[in-house]
Amino acid sequence: MSAPVAKLPAWVEVGLIPLLNVTVAFLVSGLVVLFIGENPLQAVKILVWGALGFGEGIGFTLFYTTNFIFTGLAVAVAFHAGLFNIGGEGQAYLGGLGTALAAMALDRYVPWYVTLPFAICGAALFGAAWALIPAYLQARRGSHIVITTIMFNFIAASLMVWLLVDHLSPPGSMQPETRTFAAGGALPKLGGLFEMFGADMGAAPANISIVVALAACLFVWVFIWRTRLGYEIRATGLNPTAAVYAGISTVKITIIAMLVSGALAGLMALNPVMGDQQRLQIDFVQGAGFVGIAVALMGRAHPVGIVLAAFLFGMLYQGGAELAFDMPAISRDMIVVIQALVILFAGALEHMFRPGIARAFALMSSPQRARMLDGGEAG
């Protein structure tokens, strides 16, 4: 028996402690800004204004948010099965291939809303396929999925460069990218929606794939907490031995969870490929797969938390760009630092403040409550 851990109220566990962790991550980020010699409060002001202060800013924020919802969900679904999928980057990259193939096959013949379902299927299928091999190797041969998914990110990068340079770029073009899609391969932007509120989205690329992202959130919530498969995924993630005892095939669950995870990562490609650039470019994922790790950790692998965390990171990415413009000393790499600190404090150091908070609660709570806790099992 392990030493019992003091029980804390639920709102402390899922509210106070995560909030504290993220707050500390941002405080340390503030120290980095101070160290560079700028005013952190001023930086926050510029950042928030850049992200939310005007229509175009909001449009960019939502664009980034869409990416991070997909990749955050991808990491979260794998988490629930007890798997760490670091391969979101590569799966999203391959998802781009699926999206582009669907778009290029249909864009000249049908309108976007006919292309979209095919593109969704293509993106999900290719992303899932790229997750399948690491999943299979983990389930059947016990190869550590963290390492194999890392390796698959690099393999994906090489594969995609080769495809784009040698096979997908239009004849005569030196650019490593596909042709630009026709109107049937372009997703409508949210500009109209912005105008309804009297705002101008300008050149921001926010598009209707954010609706797909929100639908994916709903899907993940139902899938994990309301279906038999989700029940089996959670059982496997929390106690694999008990899952086997219950007749749940861990091989099946590992593979299904990774397929869903890879598909969600793959869907992320809709947003930049069909929603923004209307073509497949080298390195279009730009680290969104990794941001998904921070988003999932911060959002505690729950869709609502993920949407909030994704929005926060969307703000950081957009506001960070504005910040780099106004304070040249603080380049956009600041976001990567913040992302790292969030992963560190909300992930690796998530229990750092727990003992202190538990002590504080023990001091505050009445003697009656202390006696109640004392009634636990004698060890």
Partner 1 sequence: MSPDKDDSEKDGREPSRPLEKSRPGAAPAIRLSGIDKSFGTVRANRDIALTVEEGTIHGIVGENGAGKSTLMSILYGFYQADRGDIFVRGRKVEIASSDDAIAAGIGMVHQHFMLVDNFSVLENVILGAEGGILLKAGVARARAELQRLEREYELQVDPDAIIGELPVGLQQRVEILKALFRGADTLILDEPTGVLTPSEADHLFRILRQLKSQGKTVILITHKLREIMAITDNVSVMRRGEIVRTLPTAETGPEELAELMVGRRVLLRVEKGEAAPGAPLLSVERLTVVDGKGVRRVDDVSFEVRAGEIVGIAGVSGNGQSELLEAIAGIRPATSGSIWLEGGKDLARQADPARRRLDGLAHVPEDRHRMGLVMAFEENENSVLGYHLGPEYAAGPILKLDAMREDARRKIERYDIRPPDCRLKTANFSGGNQQKIVLAREMERDPSVLLVGQPTRGVDIGAIEFIHRQLVAMRDAGKAILLVSVELDEIRALSDRILVMFAGRIVGEAGPEADEGELGLMMAGIADEEAAA
Partner 2 sequence: MDLTAAVLVLDSAVRLATPLLLACLAGLYSERSGIFDIGLEGKMLAGAFAAGAVAYWTGSAWLGLLAAIGAAIALALVHGFASITQRGNQIVSGVAINFLAAGLTALLGQAWFSQGGRTPQLSGDARFSSLTLPGAEALRDVPVLGPIYYELISGHNLIVYIAFLMVPLTWWVLFQTRFGLRLRAVGENPAAVDTAGISVPFLRYRAVLICGVLTGVAGAYLAIAQSAGFIVNMTAGKGFIALAALIFAKWRPWPAMGACLLFGFLDAVAIRLQGAYVPFIGEVPVQFMQALPYVLTVVLLAGFIGRAVPPKAGGVPYVKER
> Is the distance from CB of 75 to CB of 339 less than 8 angstroms?
no
**Least separation, in Å, of the C-beta of 317 and partner 2?**
13
Binding site for partner 1 (CB under 8 A): 1, 3-7, 222, 226-232, 234-235, 238-239, 241-248, 370, 373-374, 376-379
Judged by beta carbon distances under 5 to 8 A according to partner kind, the member of partner 1, partner 2, none in contact with residue 183 is none
Judged by beta carbon distances under 5 to 8 A according to partner kind, the member of partner 1, partner 2, none in contact with residue 251 is none
**Least separation, in Å, of the C-beta of 131 and partner 2?**
13
Which one of residues 10, 142, 192, 196 is an interface residue with partner 2 (CB under 8 A)? 142
Specify the 3-state DSSP secondary structure of 177: strand
Residue 37 interacts with partner 2 (CB under 8 A): yes or no: yes
Q: What angle do CA 345, 319, 337 make, to 5 degrees?
A: 30
Residue 193 interacts with partner 2 (CB under 8 A): yes or no: no
Which one of residues 109, 113, 154, 325 is an interface residue with partner 2 (CB under 8 A)? 154
Judged by beta carbon distances under 5 to 8 A according to partner kind, the member of partner 2, partner 1, none in contact with residue 226 is partner 1
Q: 319 φ, ψ to 5°?
A: -60, -35
User: The tokens of 242 are what?
Assistant: 């008990």
Which one of residues 128, 257, 280, 293 is an interface residue with partner 2 (CB under 8 A)? 293
The residues facing 177 across adjacent strands are 281
**Least separation, in Å, of the C-beta of 5 and partner 2?**
11
Judged by beta carbon distances under 5 to 8 A according to partner kind, the member of partner 2, partner 1, none in contact with residue 297 is partner 2
How is 59-113 classified by DSSP, letter by letter?
A: HHHHHHHHHHHHHHHHHHHHHHTT----THHHHHHHHHHHHHHHHHHHTTTS-HH
User: The tokens of 276 are what?
Assistant: 């923004």
The alpha-carbon radius of gyration of the chain (Å, integer) is 22
**Least separation, in Å, of the C-beta of 148 and partner 2?**
6
Give the separation between CA 313 and CA 193, rounded to whole angstroms: 22
Cα distances from 328 to residues 51, 332, 356, in angstroms, run 17, 9, 39
Residue 24 interacts with partner 2 (CB under 8 A): yes or no: no
48 closest CA partner among 249, 294, 319: 319
Give the separation between CA 102 and CA 120, rounded to whole angstroms: 9
For partner 2, which is the closer residue by CB, 68 or 152? 152
In this structure, which amino acid lies at residue 156? Answer: A
Give the CA count within 13 Å in the CB-facing half-sphere of 346.
27
Judged by beta carbon distances under 5 to 8 A according to partner kind, the member of partner 1, partner 2, none in contact with residue 301 is none
**Least separation, in Å, of the C-beta of 265 and partner 1?**
23
Judged by beta carbon distances under 5 to 8 A according to partner kind, the member of partner 2, partner 1, none in contact with residue 108 is none
Q: 187 φ, ψ to 5°?
A: -85, 140
Residue 341 interacts with partner 2 (CB under 8 A): yes or no: yes
Specify the 3-state DSSP secondary structure of 189: strand
Residue 347 interacts with partner 2 (CB under 8 A): yes or no: yes
Instruction: Name the segment binding partner 2 (CB under 8 A); options: 175-183, 206-214, 248-256, 333-341.
Output: 333-341
Residues that bind partner 2 in the complex, under the rule CB under 8 A: 1-3, 32, 36-37, 84, 86, 133, 137, 141-144, 146-148, 150-152, 154-155, 158-159, 161-162, 166, 290, 293, 297, 328-331, 333-341, 343-344, 347-352, 379
